[in-house]
Structure 1
Amino acid sequence: MTATVIYGKDLAAELRNEMKEEVTRLKENGITPGLTVILIGEDPASLSYVRGKQKASEKVGMESDLIELPESTSQAELLSLISELNNDDKVNGILVQLPLPDHIEEQEIIEAIEPSKDVDGFHPVSVGRLMTGQDTFFPCTPYGIMVMLEKAKIDVAGKHVVVIGRSNLVGKPVGQLLLNENATVTYCHSKTRELVYHTKQADIVIVAAGKAGLITDEHIKEEAVVIDVGVNRVDGKLTGDVDFDSVKQKASYITPVPKGVGPMTITMLLYNTIKAAKKTHGLI
């Protein structure tokens, strides 16, 4: 048996075409969704990410603004800028590219963004609503994973899901989203003993540990669903946390790296920004 490969790249293209049509309809009614991304410093990876976000935003017809600030930007200056954007009606979504320089307190910046413009889904208000099953902006990577499972017609209700990783960006929120959909969720992490014991019991394994080749075919049971969120560079090539070649021989579904979960992250950012614009104008 060879697993069905879930290509997030293809699904992302399909969803973005739908979003482009929706943005066109909104524009006809005088509404143009707008996203502003703030980038501090000149980290090449961060710059690549934000350029990708900007390009994707423009392709679906949204307003896209990238504000690039020097590494020396102070906490007070950044907070002042966020305050201005919070009060700018043309800006529906605000995204501060992480990580931030060491002299800037990341959590304070996240909490400064108006929750109605928190399209990253990181504000404590958004997190609280997620935890309590309310409508909110879901973090983009976890949300993308949920959409991929749904589109592949993988019903998570009653399934045992093992999430490897407990970050605030992916591990914790994806587990909560799955719990909200009636999955049984086990979290594993760097301190977990006998990882294989846990993963072998899983119907669905979501790997977001940041360790190349962590999961092999020995870690999963026959016909498990394996979602690889890891992005690692090995010998100049991008690779995930899953040994794709061995695991695909045993799994029922698997996502590749690249072209798997990654493209869905930006797609759900666009979705959240359009949703924010519609909320602002009372359309939802």
Structure 2
Amino acid sequence: MKDLIQEKLFDIQYLIEKFDRPLFEKNIELFKKNNIKPSLVCILTSNDPGSISYAKGIKGICKSYDIEFILDKVDTKKELEEKIQFYNNNEKIYGIIVMYPTPYDKDTYFMNLVTPEKDVEGLNHEYMGYLVQHEFYSDNENLRKLIIPPTAKGILYVLKRNYVVYEKYYHIHGKYPDGLEENPFKLEGKKVVVINDSLAVGRSLALMMLNENASVRVCQKYTDFNDILRFVSFSDIIVSAVPSNKFTIPTKNIPKNSIVFDISFEGNFEYPDIFEKIYKISPKWNMVEKGNRINDMTLHRLVSNLFYLINRKLPNEDLIKLKEFEKSIYD
């Protein structure tokens, strides 16, 4: 069973080393050239273990890429408002992330309070509007990229980068891996079910999938469980992020050779039975070694978002070189 599990896991670490690390290093080189020191502030709003763990992960990846990391904590709504405004106006801070959910009113209020110039999560309504419109850049030269939520973006990147890897394999060998007749990571026309409707995950990912011409069904707490199972049963790609240990999708409802992402901390699938049904999976976090988890891809998307924001301050000639370098990585 151990060998089977390893065979079915995404190689997220390879994707990060192949596509992210060289591009990040190129970004850092340009920042140094322009006397820019990347910085990111993380605002904790509660003692939620998930938020604390996420903040710890952000601190770690910032250290890896020589990004100044500032951890702040608030205890009241007024204090959170004041902190966001303070960092919005602080020229030494390039990115702001607030740990949601907050214990204060509607979280969207704070999402829109963070200025788009420093919103590394892409949750400000301005970015969400661009996502609905399927826009990629903030400038007419197509050099300065827009921001999209990192968790949903991480899932999309695992799929799209694997598509590139499989196409290169086909170009070299004249066939796809595992004897497949077509690239399993082609999103156009695929049936996708997303069991989560949060802005950071479900809604954003659904829009991203629609923008890739996939057919998407979004389920949430008001969706009948039998309907969820029915949607799952005919889906090519299944993404579940239900924060409950009482929610489990039976393996018998999982289509053979489907692609699965389990984003829930508790785990939303039957382990290890599910490994015998799926083609590839990003499973519950504790079934994967650190460095190869979907959370590792999420953290790298957060850093890429920070770099997108900083890049807006770079001259066009530097960004043209960066775009050419990025293209060479994928070619």
Q: TM-score range by the shorter chain?
A: 0.7 to 0.9
**How far, CA to CA, are the matches of 2:115 and 2:40 in structure 1?**
13
State whether residues 203 and 225 of structure 1, in contact with CA within 8 Å, keep that contact through their aligned partners in structure 2: yes
How many residues were matched structurally?
A: 273
- State the Cα deviation string for residues 9-47 of structure 1 (Å, max 9, x = none): 554465553324431342133122221111234444422
| Secondary structure of residue in 2 paired with 1:118 | coil
| Secondary structure of residue in 2 paired with 1:248 | helix
- State the Cα deviation string for residues 155-186 of structure 1 (Å, max 9, x = none): 11111111112122211111110110111111
Q: Identify the structure with the greater helix proportion.
A: 2
Q: Sequence identity, in percent?
A: 26
- State the Cα deviation string for residues 86-107 of structure 1 (Å, max 9, x = none): 12222221111122234x5422
Higher RCO (C-alpha under 8 Å, 6+ residues apart): 1
Matches within 5 A, 1:1-284: 4-9=8-13, 11-12=15-16, 17-18=21-22, 19-69=24-74, 71=75, 73=76, 75-102=77-104, 105-135=106-136, 136-153=146-163, 154-190=185-221, 191-192=223-224, 193-212=226-245, 214-232=248-266, 240-258=267-285, 259=288, 260-283=293-316
Give 1:151's aligned amino acid. R
**How far, CA to CA, are the matches of 1:184 and 1:105 in structure 2?**
30
Summarize the Cα distance change of 1:12–1:230 in structure 2 as closer, same or farther, 3 Å threshold: farther
State whether residues 36 and 65 of structure 1, in contact with CA within 8 Å, keep that contact through their aligned partners in structure 2: yes
| Secondary structure of residue in 1 paired with 2:96 | strand
State whether residues 160 and 204 of structure 1, in contact with CA within 8 Å, keep that contact through their aligned partners in structure 2: yes
Gaps of 5+ in 1: 233-239
Give 2:87's aligned amino acid. L
> Displacement, 1:151?
2.1
State whether residues 6 and 256 of structure 1, in contact with CA within 8 Å, keep that contact through their aligned partners in structure 2: no
**How far, CA to CA, are the matches of 1:257 and 1:123 in structure 2?**
29
**How far, CA to CA, are the matches of 1:44 and 1:142 in structure 2?**
21
Gaps of 5+ in 2: 137-145, 164-184, 320-331
Query: Which moves more between the two structures, 89-98 or 20-29?
Result: 20-29
> Displacement, 1:63?
2.0
| Secondary structure of residue in 1 paired with 2:300 | helix
> Displacement, 1:253?
1.0
User: RMSD in angstroms over aligned alpha carbons?
Assistant: 2.3
Give 2:261's aligned amino acid. I
**How far, CA to CA, are the matches of 2:20 and 2:284 in structure 1?**
20
| Secondary structure of residue in 2 paired with 1:152 | helix
State whether residues 34 and 314 of structure 2, in contact with CA within 8 Å, keep that contact through their aligned partners in structure 1: no
